[in-house]
Structure 1
């Protein structure tokens, strides 16, 4: 792919279009000496892996927060577990691979892989113990006070034990498979993230000890309901009835344990035609990755632990001895209980005011609304179903629509968007779908939907070899008759085309008919589906070619404005900030006196507040009921603000190994709306975690919560409409 940035806008644009900084004067270009002064700070980058652990610590702090509704705290405990699982499966596994292969390359933070791994194991161990103690000492008693009881087997009365015995006999016992370990039965394969029982047995006739493993079936509820909101862990029920599995043997000890394995994918893409088959094979191999973590209950017998450590090949540092029960992902089931008074107040998205029905029960014509004005959507506050989903569904049903082109990265299993694309293809429209089947942990679903789309007659393309197609684009080509002829409508977003996650993820999206934007989107789709490599983009930045360089140029333009005495400021919102070149450009802006504000949900490798380097940079993080997911790049631009939104985070994978898109918001209203959102996010009285120069995060005492305030504003708009 190639993407040339055209810095000036075409003639004849509206007065609302912001003027490019490059038209003002020659762009600022830092000389080698200035860059060398920044690079002289050898420890200017925080370690990305340790920064991620601090992000998950912030998730844990939400679970610890007594002002948050109880069942939401329970859910944050489950999210913390899921996050840490994926971190070990992917990031820790990658570190171990590099160490084993002898690839001893220093991280940007200056740490060697083994040093990073040692710190990860220490910090993650501390956080895991903190989570377990929080669950045991605070959450369980608080749930009990609300009539939700999580008990162990010893707490059950005789009637409940009888109930569990019947359940075990009728439902659980037929599913269990005990696996013995002896010279005739080698140590069994333990699948990743499965919960298991290590059983120590004695043969009363021979007096010999034996070892067996019993897998806790994941098809049953993690916490077994005993009645009205009273639950016992499934492994407790199984452990108490092991004599049914091992008749004639004496059950001496039972201990639960859990293994985490390397489950990242490695697929060669030499032949794109065979990519589906290659990915399916790799998904089978994934289950056999090497272990990277062993979790055991702290009461485990030393001899049993020694056996597990030896057979699994993990080090003592990779063993986590925790108060039980293990695997708190199952707390999602508890958080889902119908106890609305223990959850966040119910929230319903509303239709964007430019798409709202007016004196009619019929849905608004999205095409007519988009022709009048650009529509800047902010999910989940603006409804996804009455905006993006309706846009695609109306396009599929509209006889004037000739073609629909769309990228799909992750979507839900019952996606109405998939159904609409299939309907459009069956109606004879040209439908192009760029499916990214390698979206991590969603590969199986994406393979299934790719084949379903192909069978319906859609043109399905698996993106560009060597790159993940991560951009969020949709384009509709419509024949509007003699008055206008062919018109293109585009949606460019920061989040996936997924109706389910759109209710939980905070994202932005632009629906526009701006001809400069839609022309760029059309060229980009040709790049993705064909051999076109000569497109230049006036209103888009496209990775891997121009997102990094384009953003660096924007930062340099702000420096030029500041030097010339014009207003200059940089405000960025992202999931992660890791890329060294972009961070160095922000350091340079700070050194030159340009204020820089970052809103980062997850990883941040930039050190703010370092004397002589980043004194003009502040970094904050907001977490809450919605996952902050949008990416915004906002520049003061000499007093004529400019804003970009899109799919790219400031990470190597996004800028070098993915097709990403940022779009410059084409109208002043949208830019102002984004500016107001950032004003609220960066306000002193908005609650957030603030990053210090040592990599620590501390929560401020702000009284305004960003998400709650946006919900209230949305409610006020609804009542005033």
Structure 2
């Protein structure tokens, strides 16, 4: 914390006002926010702690190591790169946490250095030896048997050597371009005639397996195989030394939509430029020669704080392949999503999903409830149903072989009116979304890209069906993407409904996204950027009023990120007014909980596990109390979600669904559930054992068992 006055950005300065915009609220301390970048690193630390946990199945520990590495790659490509760009252009301002931009960068470098060393130690000292004990060996070249080396000699000549391109550096050969996230060998060779030394770079082919199979359940890093054959790549030269290195570049995209005549083409041009972003991180093998390191730093233009020296091997994202090997006893117990109990007849083709929804709403929770037999079936039945006249759909991220896209194409080819809002600016999915946008257009779908300056992040589907002499609207609103692959790994909620109010709201929303509309009113939706922040602040203030009137008052929120200063300030003021505030945050959290006089009634929990907790749930008040409400939706509490995206929150009205969501929150905040607890200084402490040393309830295992029991109860 700091007592130094801070200059806040616009959002933080606005947060000084009360939630209702009035003055006279208690003045809040300037050091009330944790730094969002450092909070993200602490989120990734929690991922690392799962890799360290010896009670987690061994191959899953390997996967968590890979997830930690890929998370960190993206953090540097986007967050660190963006911060460096703002500093270079003079646009960076002091963070809401009070840290100056360069202080944030320095703190990131220090914390990252600590975490990557810990990450390497977990792999080298714990996971790798445990894998070997279980019969899965990751060896260096010199540790292989003669037979294994002979086999790899053949493999190298036939499959690796032809695709390698050694690039020398001399007056006729400038220093080569090093692509982002590529793994490379830096080689020093000597001309035996002249005695002159030269630098050369070899790119490790990214399309070949990162860990090459040397024998039954025995693997060797691909760069070790290449290094053992350098004499074939530099015949007649003396190979003096070789070391691996890896560069991370700025890969965030910037497209001026106001100036872009064609957003699709402008984004395609920017994707080409992405490959040539400036370096933001250099990872090197810790044994690297200092002179060689100086050469790399000079040629790449990186500072000492950007360099991370690590034990061999670099780039442990490749451990995903190890985690995928067929050893079920070393993985989480198999889990197959079940069909929601209200959709069993639909799955058996004994009922129409539309007839089922006319009897009542269905609340599904993925991956426990099958995506294929609920949301996917809803869209596929709509595409095939003769009574359906139109389908309107948002697509933010979807899979490469998406049955959702196929169903929309089938619907368009059958003559239905199909509107698809494709968010082609979804980070790192831009190329795939451009491809699907073109495919949908070619099939006759109406494809739009949303509103200028805003990403469309809401998850909504609307079906218009002719039933007798009337049109009826069916809808799905959810918290997760229409992606059948991630729906097996991400925890998300969605409501399938035939509600007239929801149908009318979505009609207005889609008309806004595809046409020109202003001042649209919604009955059961809160839509960003106009309504979500104000709607949440209004409901927090209602709980403040209830507490001041002597009634029970509570706010419980489950999100991926909680960094919006206005929302956090409203929660602080609510805590001071006597409102109990419980926050369940998977990732970044800028809240300081439990600070005397500021946030004594605020608790923050985080849960990580085999599934990625992705749903957003907002509960205001206690069940049964006047004014109590529960909402689900797509929005996290971040500036980008509330100000620069189209997001939608949906109010849940069916009592049994309100109860289900409230019960999930009960479980998440229960002291008997394993979780991480956030402290006032930003440190997370893991609570996984009770006072007797016994494991606390694993929330996700509990929900798997609960859904299984419910499935058995619905069987005839």
Q: Report if TM-score (shorter chain) is over 0.5.
A: yes
Cα distance in 2 for partners of 1:630, 1:696 equals 24
Compare 563-572 and 448-457 and name the one that shifted more. 563-572
Q: Residue 160 of structure 2 is aligned with which of 167, 172, 185? A: 172
Cα distance in 2 for partners of 1:303, 1:580 equals 47
Tell me what 2:362 maps to: 375
Is 1:639 equivalent to 2:625 in the alignment?
Answer: yes
Is 1:705 equivalent to 2:698 in the alignment?
Answer: yes
1:696 deviates by 0.3
Cα distance in 1 for partners of 2:443, 2:550 equals 59
Q: Residue 414 of structure 1 is aligned with which of 383, 386, 401? A: 401
Alpha carbons 1:566, 1:639 under 8 Å: kept: no
1:672 deviates by 1.1
Is 1:32 equivalent to 2:33 in the alignment?
Answer: no
Alpha carbons 1:411, 1:497 under 8 Å: kept: yes
Q: Residue 269 of structure 1 is aligned with which of 253, 257, 260? A: 257
Deviations along 1:664-711, one digit per CA (max 9) or x if unpaired, are 012222111101111111111000000000000001135101111000
Cα distance in 1 for partners of 2:567, 2:685 equals 25
Is 1:619 equivalent to 2:612 in the alignment?
Answer: no
Cα distance in 1 for partners of 2:497, 2:520 equals 20
Cα distance in 1 for partners of 2:528, 2:535 equals 10
Tell me what 2:57 maps to: 69
Q: Residue 99 of structure 1 is aligned with which of 72, 84, 87? A: 87
Alpha carbons 1:506, 1:627 under 8 Å: kept: yes
Does the C-alpha gap of structure 1 residues 271 and 103 become closer, same or farther in structure 2, counting only changes over 3 Å? closer
SS at match of 1:599: strand
- Within 5 A, what are the aligned runs for 1:279-290? 279-290=267-278
1:32 deviates by 1.5
Pairs aligned (count): 689
Tell me what 2:243 maps to: 255
Is 1:580 equivalent to 2:569 in the alignment?
Answer: no
Tell me what 1:473 maps to: 460
Q: Residue 542 of structure 1 is aligned with which of 502, 511, 527? A: 527
1:226 deviates by 1.2
- Within 5 A, what are the aligned runs for 1:268-667? 268-270=256-258, 274-357=262-345, 361-362=348-349, 364-482=351-469, 485-636=470-621, 639-640=625-626, 641-667=628-654
Does the C-alpha gap of structure 1 residues 538 and 361 become closer, same or farther in structure 2, counting only changes over 3 Å? closer
Deviations along 1:245-282, one digit per CA (max 9) or x if unpaired, are 11100000010000000000001112565111111110
Compare 518-527 and 268-277 and name the one that shifted more. 268-277
TM-score when normalising by structure 2:
0.95
1:94 deviates by 0.8
Deviations along 1:275-322, one digit per CA (max 9) or x if unpaired, are 111111101100111111110111111111111111111011111110
Cα distance in 1 for partners of 2:345, 2:129 equals 48
Cα distance in 1 for partners of 2:141, 2:698 equals 41
Is 1:44 equivalent to 2:32 in the alignment?
Answer: yes
1:101 deviates by 1.5
SS at match of 2:226: helix
Q: Residue 143 of structure 2 is aligned with which of 137, 151, 155? A: 155
Tell me what 2:13 maps to: none
Gaps of 5+ in 1: 1-26
Tell me what 1:714 maps to: 707
1:159 deviates by 1.1
Tell me what 2:663 maps to: 676
Cα distance in 1 for partners of 2:613, 2:260 equals 34
Cα distance in 2 for partners of 1:270, 1:108 equals 29
Deviations along 1:27-51, one digit per CA (max 9) or x if unpaired, are 99574221x422xx11000000000
Tell me what 1:114 maps to: 102
Compare 96-105 and 406-415 and name the one that shifted more. 96-105
SS at match of 2:99: coil
1:516 deviates by 1.3
Q: Residue 121 of structure 2 is aligned with which of 133, 139, 142? A: 133
Cα distance in 2 for partners of 1:219, 1:678 equals 43
1:366 deviates by 1.1
Alpha carbons 1:568, 1:639 under 8 Å: kept: no
1:104 deviates by 4.1
Q: Residue 237 of structure 1 is aligned with which of 225, 246, 256? A: 225
Does the C-alpha gap of structure 1 residues 32 and 676 become closer, same or farther in structure 2, counting only changes over 3 Å? same
SS at match of 1:516: helix
CA-based RMSD of the aligned residues comes to 1.3
- Within 5 A, what are the aligned runs for 1:75-90? 75-90=63-78
Tell me what 2:182 maps to: 194
Compare 365-374 and 415-424 and name the one that shifted more. 365-374
SS at match of 1:218: coil
Cα distance in 1 for partners of 2:422, 2:465 equals 23
Alpha carbons 2:616, 2:634 under 8 Å: kept: yes
SS at match of 1:32: coil
1:102 deviates by 2.2
Tell me what 2:12 maps to: none
Cα distance in 1 for partners of 2:640, 2:592 equals 21
SS at match of 2:24: helix
Cα distance in 1 for partners of 2:61, 2:92 equals 40
Q: Which structure has the higher relative contact order (CA within 8 Å, separation 6+)?
A: 1
TM-score when normalising by structure 1:
0.94
Does the C-alpha gap of structure 1 residues 232 and 541 become closer, same or farther in structure 2, counting only changes over 3 Å? same
SS at match of 1:188: coil
1:103 deviates by 2.6
Gaps of 5+ in 2: 1-17, 691-695
Q: Residue 673 of structure 2 is aligned with which of 672, 683, 686? A: 686
Tell me what 1:24 maps to: none
Cα distance in 2 for partners of 1:601, 1:365 equals 37
Alpha carbons 1:272, 1:462 under 8 Å: kept: no
SS at match of 1:433: strand
SS at match of 1:537: coil
Does the C-alpha gap of structure 1 residues 142 and 28 become closer, same or farther in structure 2, counting only changes over 3 Å? closer
1:567 deviates by 2.3
Cα distance in 2 for partners of 1:99, 1:566 equals 49
Cα distance in 2 for partners of 1:442, 1:364 equals 36
Does the C-alpha gap of structure 1 residues 272 and 402 become closer, same or farther in structure 2, counting only changes over 3 Å? farther
Q: Residue 201 of structure 2 is aligned with which of 189, 213, 228? A: 213
1:615 deviates by 0.2
Alpha carbons 1:272, 1:465 under 8 Å: kept: no
Cα distance in 2 for partners of 1:197, 1:525 equals 51
Cα distance in 1 for partners of 2:128, 2:61 equals 11
